[in-house]
Copies of this chain bind each other. A is one copy, B any other.
């Protein structure tokens, strides 16, 4: 009983999956999720459809991800990690924190805006998540925060830098949601982010 439980937890965390087959199943599921979300957004990510496309039974899908929100937030984490890796491989221009943060923000924002449906699906899942998905949400929040602290300086971030990064993350997410729900244009978003970063870092 106890070993089974710990293995199940590992499924959710996505690390240390016992077998190759399981790692592959998990990847197929996340891929299917991203594909469906890219095509039709949050509503198109239907659990039966994800299971079909990933060639997995519905019950298995739920064994790997206990809810649609867990599934989408975990996929968001995967995507952010990819973005972060890409960012790590590029040298961020600008000789002030202000300029570098704006560069990073602009680049990721434009990246997300290139895939509106996917962005809609993930941001809505993220903000709708309840307590049961706390771990996944925290992971994403941490990825966002570190994305911005890295842009501010190469050294370990100070508390104030962390606070600033968090505020930027909050504003970023809120604007992304406004854009996704068509309450703000891409220009609105860019302006507000610029203004926010200016208030905080200049």
Contacts and interface: CB of A to CB of B under 8 A. Distances in A.
A182 B132 CA distance: 9
Given A130-B124, A183-B137, A192 B163 contact: yes
A21 interface: no
Interface of A: 42, 124, 127-131, 133-134, 137-138, 141, 160, 163-164, 166-167, 170-171, 173-175, 177, 181-183, 192, 195-196, 199-200
A126 to B, nearest CB: 9
**Residue in A124, A134, A173, A199 whose Cβ sees the most chain B Cβ within 10 Å:** A199
B181 A137 contact: yes
Given A163-B196, A170-B170, A195-B163, A181 B124 contact: no
Contact of A200 (B42, B133, B199): B199
B192 A166 contact: yes
17 contacts: A124-B128, A127-B128, A127-B177, A129-B181, A130-B181, A134-B181, A134-B182, A137-B181, A138-B183, A164-B199, A166-B192, A167-B196, A170-B175, A173-B174, A174-B174, A199-B199, A199-B200
A199 B130 contact: no
Contacts of A128: 124, 127-128
A124 B134 CA distance: 14
A43 to B, nearest CB: 9
Contacts of A195: 163
A32 to B, nearest CB: 23
Nearest to A182: B131
A124 to B, nearest CB: 6
Nearest to A159: B195
A183 B183 CA distance: 28
B170 A174 contact: yes
Contacts of A167: 167, 171, 196, 199
